[in-house]
Amino acid sequence: MGNSKKKKENIILHIDMDYFFAQIEERENPQFKGKPVVVGADPKEGKGRGVVSTCNYEARKFGIKSGMPISRAYKLCPQAIFLPVNMQLYKRVSRAVFQIAQKFSSKMERVSLDEAYIDLTGRVGSYKEARREGEDLRKIVFEKERLTCSIGVSKNKMMAKIACELAKPDGIRIITPVQAAKTIASMKVETIPGIGPKTRQFIEKKLKKKDPQIRDALVFSKSELADFFGKRGEEFYYKLRGIDKSPVEEKKEAKSVGKEHTFQKDTRDAKMIIKVFKRLVGDVHSQVKDKKINGLTVVCRYEDFETHTKQISFDAGKYTEEFLYKKSISLLLKFLTQSNKKIRLIGFRVKIA
- Rounded to 5 degrees, φ, ψ at 133 are -60, -45
Q: How many CB atoms lie within 10 A of CB 195?
A: 21
Q: Which of 164, 163, 171 is nearest to 242 (CA)?
A: 163
Q: How far is the CB of 17 from Mg ion (least distance, A)?
A: 5
Query: What SS3 class is residue 146?
Result: coil
Q: Which is nearer to Mg ion, 40 or 212 (CB)?
A: 40
Distance CA 142, CA 171 (A): 12
Q: How far is the CB of 141 from Mg ion (least distance, A)?
A: 12
Catalytic status, residue 143? no
Q: Which is nearer to Mg ion, 17 or 281 (CB)?
A: 17
Q: How far is the CB of 117 from Mg ion (least distance, A)?
A: 14
Distance CA 337, CA 332 (A): 9
- Rounded to 5 degrees, φ, ψ at 250 are -75, 110
Q: Which is nearer to Mg ion, 117 or 236 (CB)?
A: 117
Q: Cis omega (within 30 of 0) on the bond before 169?
A: yes
Q: How far is the CB of 112 from Mg ion (least distance, A)?
A: 8
Looking at residues 324 to 353 of the shown chain, list those that interact with Mg ion (rule: CB under 5 A).
none
Query: What SS3 class is residue 220?
Result: coil
CA distances from 12 to 24, 117, 153, 154, 314 (A): 26, 7, 6, 5, 34
* Site size with Mg ion, rule: CB under 5 A: 4
Distance CA 211, CA 190 (A): 9
The residue type at 83: L
Looking at residues 104 to 163 of the shown chain, list those that interact with Mg ion (rule: CB under 5 A).
114
Q: Which is nearer to Mg ion, 114 or 244 (CB)?
A: 114
Q: How far is the CB of 18 from Mg ion (least distance, A)?
A: 6
Looking at residues 8 to 67 of the shown chain, list those that interact with Mg ion (rule: CB under 5 A).
16-17, 20
Beta strands in 56-105 (DSSP E): 81-84
Q: Which is nearer to Mg ion, 169 or 282 (CB)?
A: 169
Catalytic residue among 115, 145, 165, 234: 115
Residues carrying an active site annotation: 115
Task: Tell me which residues touch Mg ion (CB under 5 A).
Answer: 16-17, 20, 114
